[in-house]
Structures are given as structure tokens and as C-alpha cells.
């Protein structure tokens, strides 16, 4: 299942002109397939209402749709919303696309999938976590390794608990003009939480 999912996700189009202020990167298909497979095996995808916060290209949300979820993809940026809709059409999928800032998100869902902007210098990622923890029973969130303890503390002060942390090293292609290397290795975590019973 995971191999086939990665293959399908590899067809998802990438940003033509990514905006650095929004840290727009396409989530690597292999990482997305791992996250989705893990969530699927925990019964957090199929026949569940799933939100993809900061959906970007739709890699996570459309992947969840392929696996049988009812999906709401939340994205504020015009070009990303257009690309997300194009990717859904290319895959022959229907997903609810909501163009809004995640701060305005107030739907109750079973599961949140997200790959928030990576920033060690602002709390933007924590705003995603705050929304996810408020409005879902399970969260699968990607974050830079350096923010692990802050996120764990943040979750510890919420109605959720951390179920697991999986470590990955991903290779990000040069997306912006100032990138001089062919690719950049980035250490990340997949942090999984669930609402306490």
C-alpha cells in the first residue's frame, strides 16, 4: 500500500514560484506516504474526517483522500489553492478546499495532518499546533527536530498527549534563488498526539 501511495503522490505538482515568507516546499512523497500509512494503520484516516492544515500542494490531504478519508484542505495563499485544486483534479479526487488562515479554522475533525512552515525564529508552527489540538482527536505533525521539546511542552499543556515521535532526515531540493546546494538534508520529526480519554 505504502509503495503504491508514494507512486501516486509523486505525481502531485510542485510550486512554480514558491514564497519564502510562507516557507513553501512540497512535502516529499516518501515522507507523506510514511505519515499517511502510519495514520491509516492507527484507524485515523479511512472513513474519518481529516483536516490538512496549511495544505500547500495537497500532498497530505489528497493522500488521505486516496485512502478513504473525508478531507478538508485549509490553505490561505492564492497560488497554493489553485495548485491544490489542480492536483485534486489530476488525481480525480474531490476534497473540500477552504481558503482561509488557519487561525480562522474552527471545524471539528477526527484527525489533523500538517506540515507547518519550518521556523526556529517564530511561533508560527505553534499556531498550527494550537489549532490542531483544539479541533481534532489525533494529530500527525511534521516539525524541525530543534522544536521537538517546545512542541512536547505545548502538547503537555493541552488536552492531548504525545503518542510517538518518529525521526526522519529529508532531502529538500533548492527551491529558492539563494539555495546554492543541489539539495539540503534537514532533520525532522513526525510527532503524533491523541486526545486524552
Cell of residue 50, nine digits: 481529516
Domain that holds residue 101: 2-195
The CATH number for 136's domain is 3.40.50.150
Chain centroid offset of residue 105 CA? 15
Q: Could you give the maximum distance between any two Cα atoms of the chain, in Å?
A: 48
Find cell 490538512 and name the residue. Answer: 52
Sheet with 109-114, edge to edge strand ranges: 96-99, 70-75, 49-53, 109-114, 136-144, 184-195, 160-172
Per-residue pLDDT of the chain (197 residues; tens, 9 = 90+): 899 999 999 999 886 655 554 455 668 999 999 999 999 999 999 999 999 999 999 999 999 999 999 999 999 989 889 999 999 999 999 989 999 999 999 999 999 999 998 655 567 788 999 999 999 999 999 998 888 999 999 999 999 999 999 999 887 655 444 444 555 688 999 999 999 98
- What global pTM score does this model have? 0.90
Cα 31 to Cα 60, 77, 136, 170: the distances in Å are 10, 23, 22, 8
User: How many domains does one find in the chain?
Assistant: 1
Question: Contact at 8 Å (CB) between 191 and 149?
Answer: no
* Cα angle 141, 64, 44; round to 5: 65
Work out the end-to-end distance of the chain between its first and last CA atoms, rounded to an integer number of angstroms.
31
Amino acid at each position: 500500500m505504502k509503495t503504491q501511495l508514494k507512486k501516486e503522490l509523486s505525481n502531485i505538482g510542485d510550486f512554480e514560484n514558491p514564497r519564502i515568507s510562507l516557507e513553501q516546499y512540497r512535502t516529499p512523497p516518501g515522507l507523506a506516504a510514511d505519515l499517511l500509512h502510519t495514520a491509516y494503520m492507527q484507524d485515523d484516516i479511512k472513513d474519518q474526517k481529516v483536516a490538512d492544515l496549511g495544505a500547500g500542494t495537497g500532498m497530505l490531504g489528497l493522500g488521505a483522500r486516496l485512502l478513504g478519508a473525508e478531507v478538508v484542505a485549509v490553505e490561505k495563499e492564492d497560488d497554493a489553492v489553485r495548485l491544490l485544486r489542480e492536483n485534486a483534479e489530476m488525481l480525480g479526487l474531490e476534497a473540500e478546499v477552504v481558503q482561509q488562515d488557519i487561525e480562522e479554522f474552527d471545524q471539528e475533525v477526527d484527525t489533523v495532518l500538517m506540515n507547518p512552515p519550518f521556523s526556529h525564529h517564530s511561533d508560527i508552527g505553534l499556531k498550527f499546533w494550537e489549532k490542531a489540538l483544539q479541533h481534532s482527536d489525533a494529530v500527525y505533525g511534521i516539525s524541525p527536530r530543534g522544536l521537538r521539546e517546545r512542541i512536547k511542552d505545548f502538547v503537555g499543556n493541552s488536552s492531548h498527549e504525545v503518542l510517538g515521535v518518529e525521526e526522519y532526515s529529508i532531502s529538500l531540493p533548492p527551491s529558492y534563488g539563494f539555495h546554492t546546494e543541489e539539495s539540503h538534508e534537514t532533520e525532522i520529526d513526525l510527532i503524533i498526539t491523541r486526545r486524552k480519554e
